[in-house]
Structure 1
Amino acid sequence: MVAANASEMTYHGTNTYLIEAADGLYVLDPGPAEDEQHFDAIVSAVGGRGAGIIVTHHHSDHFGSVSRLRKAIGGKVLAAANFPEDTFLPDIALSDGDHVAGLTVMHTPGHASDHLCFRRDDRVVFTGDHVMTWNSSIVMLPDGDMAAYCRQLERLAEQDDLLYLPGHGPVLAEPKAYVRKLLEHRVRRDQAIREEIAKAPATVEEISRVLYGKTEKWLAWAAERNVEAHLDKLMKEGCVAQQGDRWVAV
C-alpha cells in the first residue's frame, strides 16, 4: 500500500506494509496523517485483526497517522527505545536484536537517530528510509548522523539478504551490491568535499553548489543538509575544521 504523499523527498509516497503474525496483522509505517484515503484503506485491510503498529522512525511521512490508527484498529505501537518525539510514547520500546511479529529488530541510526530496520528469517528486510531504491537517503543534523549511517550500511552489506522492502520506492532484489554502491558513494562524497575545501575555504552552500549542482530550491536545500552531515563526520574524524561559516581541510 502506498500513501498519496508523493514529493521530491518521498518518491511516489510512503510504503505501508501489513505483516501477518500469529496474533494478527501488524501495520508497518502507516504514513502521514493527512491521507484519509490511505488511512481508510489500512483500516479496511486490517479489519478486526489488528495486533499492532510498527514504526521504522519518527518522521511524519511514516508516523503521522499512528495515534489515530491505534484508536481505529487497536493493538500496541512499537517503536525504537530512543524514539525522540516527546509528544508520543510508544507502548513497546524496541532495541537492536529484539524480536516482534516474526521480525528481528535492527537499530540503524543515520537517517534518524531512532531508525529501525526489520529482518525476516527468510532474509527479507524492511529497510524504511535507511536504504531506498529510488534515491539515497538524506542525513540531516542534528538528529541524523552520517558516520552512523555509513556504519549501518556496512552492517547491511555484511548480511546475505535476498530482498529489501523500503519505505519509499520499489522492492530491491539481491541488495548487497546496491548497498555497497551506496556506501562507496558516501566515501567518494567525503573525498570530494575534502578535495574541494583543500583548494580554498568554503561554505556549505558553496561546497554543495560545486558537488551537487542543484538549482531547484528544495533539492538544493536537501543537498546542503547532506553536505553538513558529511562535514560533521569529517570533523569528528579530524579531517576538516570550521572557521566561521567556512570549512577548511586539516
Structure 2
Amino acid sequence: MSDNEDMPFNRDFPLAPGVVEEVVPGVRRVLCNNPSAFTFTGSVTYIVGRGNVAIIDPGPVNEDHARAVLDAVRGETVTHILLTHTHNDHSPGTARLKEATGATVYAEGPHRASRPAYASETRATESGGDWDFRPDVTLKDGDIIEGDGWRLEAVTTPGHTANHMAFAWPERKLMFIGDHVMGWSTSIVAPPDGSMVDYMASLEKLTHRDEQLYFSGHGPEIPDAVRFVKFLIRHRKAREASILHRLSKGQADIPTIVRASYIGLAPNLVGAAGYSVLAHLEDLVARKVVATDGDPVIGGTYRLVAPLA
C-alpha cells in the first residue's frame, strides 16, 4: 500500500472491561466499561513498566475500573500518573488512584478552551471538560519522565483539547497518543474546546517523529503510525474540500453542510459532526476563504468569499 492510498479504520478491539492485557512487553492496558458513540468500547488505561510503574489516563469516575487497575498493579509501586488530556472520560478517575497509591500526577496543565467562548455560544463538547483537575507537575514539550526500565518524552499535541499531550517512548518507537489519533475513528475537534488549526499542526508534527506504534485512548493500537497520520491529514483535507464544494452551491448553515458531507451518518453522531464542521469553518474563516456574519459559531450561516478556482 502506498502513502497515497487510504488506510481503513480498525474497529476490531475485543478487549473486555477489567481484563489486564500485556499488549507489548512493558505495556499493559485495562478497558473501562464506559462504551458510547464517542468512546467506542470504552476508555483505555495504560500501565507502563514493571515493579515501579506509571499509569496513563485513569479514566472516568468508575469504581469497578479503579479496582481493576489497582488489582493489576497489586504488589507494585505506582510512581507516576500521567494524563493525555482532561476530558471527563480520561481524567476524573485520577483522584481515586492518587489517593490509593500516593503517586505524583503529571499533565500539560488544567483544562482550558482553545479560545475564549463567544458571547453567542455555549460550551458543548462530546464528553465535557474536567475543570477541577490540577496536576502536581506541569509538563512542557520535550520534558522527560523516567521510571524503572522506561523513559517517556512529553509531546504536546493540542487540537482535540488545548492541553492534549502524548507520551513517547522513543527507544521503543511507540507513543501513548491519547485521543489525538485513534484507529477506530477520527477524533472529534469541537470548538471552543478544540481547534482544527492546532489539530492539523499537531498531526503534521507527528509525521516528523520516529514512533511507529501508537496506543490510543480508545480502541486498538495503531501500527505503521506515521503513515496512518498522513492518511488522517488527507482525510481532514478531503473533509474541508467537501465543505467548500457544498458552499460553492450557495450559502449554508452547518446542519445543511453535515447532510451534504457526511452521507449515511448515524443520527447520534450528527451533533458531533456539526462541531467538527465548525472547527473546519473556523479555520476557513480565519484564512478568509469562507465568510459569515458575526462570529463563526455553530448556529451561523456560511458562504464562500470568492468562487472556487
Specify which of 146, 149, 153 is matched with residue 104 of structure 1.
Answer: 153
Distance in 1 separating the partners of 2:186 and 2:92: 22
Cα pair 1:46 1:73 within 8 Å, conserved? no
**Cα distance change of structure 1 residues 12 and 181 upon mapping to structure 2, 3 Å threshold:** same
Aligned residues: 248
Which amino acid in structure 2 is aligned with residue 208 of structure 1? V
- Whether the 8 Å CA contact 1:56–1:117 is kept in 2: the answer is yes
List per-residue Cα deviations over 1:29-59 (Å, max 9, x = no partner).
Answer: 01110x2221101112223501121000000
Correspondence 1:22-101 to 2 at 5 A: 24-33=52-61, 35-47=62-74, 48-81=76-109, 83-84=111-112, 86-101=131-146
CA 90–130 in structure 1, closer or farther in 2 if over 3 Å, else same: same
Amino acid at match of 2:87: H
Q: CA deviation at 1:148?
A: 0.8
Match of 1:4 among 33, 58, 77: 33
1:126 alignment counterpart: 176
Point out the structure with the larger helix share.
1
Match of 1:166 among 206, 216, 219: 216
Which residue is 1:115 aligned to?
164
Alignment partner, residue 191 of structure 2 = 141
TM superposition score normalised by structure 2: 0.77
Deviations 1:225-247 (A, max 9, x none): 10000000111111111136210
Structure 1: how far apart are the matches of 2:43 and 2:132? 22
Change in Cα spacing, 1:82 to 1:38, as seen in structure 2 (3 Å) is closer
Distance 1:215 1:182, change over 3 A: closer
Give the aligned residue type for 1:107. T
Partner of 1:247: 302
Structure 2 counterpart of 1:188, one-letter code: A
- In 1, Cα distance between the equivalents of 2:264 and 2:278? 15
Partner of 2:286: 236
Identify which range, 91-100 or 47-56, moves more after superposition. Answer: 47-56
Q: Could you state the TM-score of these two structures normalised by the residue count of structure 1?
A: 0.94
Q: Deviations over 1:186-223 (max 9, x none)?
A: 11111211121121100011101110135543200111
Q: For 1:159 and 1:87, how far apart are their aligned partners in 2?
A: 33
1:205 matched to 2:232: no
CA shift, 1:185, in A, is 0.8
Let me know the Cα RMSD of the aligned residues: 1.6
Whether the aligned pair in 2 keeps the contact of 1:214 and 1:223 (CA below 8 Å) is no
Partner of 2:269: 219
CA distance in 1 between partners of 2:56 and 2:79 (Å): 11
CA contact (8 A) 1:32 1:62 kept: yes
- The letter of the residue matching 2:187 is S
Q: What is the rounded CA distance, in whole Å, between the counterparts of 2:200 and 2:131 in structure 1? A: 27
Distance (whole Å) between structure 2 residues aligned to residue 214 and residue 203 of structure 1: 19
2:303 aligned partner, one-letter code:
V
